[in-house]
Amino acid sequence: MLMPQISISTLQYAISALAAGIKELQELIDSGDTGPEDFQRMEDLERAASELEEQYDEAAKTVLNLTPYNELVGDCPRS
């Protein structure tokens, strides 16, 4: 499948923004204040995140000094 070309910075921003949205929705789900549509939305967001991660992994093969993916999504230890 031919993927549209976007800049690395746009890809990084999209990954970070999507991760923040997933975390926010997960907190809402954890609080129990959700409806059935929220679970579908989470599934859709997680699918999109997976696709972006694949694209980022591909970019990492040719682009030097990329921010590690786990840092973009907030899974890194804070100093």
Q: What is the dihedral of CA 55, 10, 14, 44, to 10 degrees?
A: -50
| pLDDT average, residue stretch 51-55 | 94
pLDDT at 49 over 90: yes
Cβ partners under 8 Å of residue 34, min gap 6:
28
Token pair 């591909």 is found at 58
Q: Considering the entire predicted model, what is its pTM?
A: 0.84
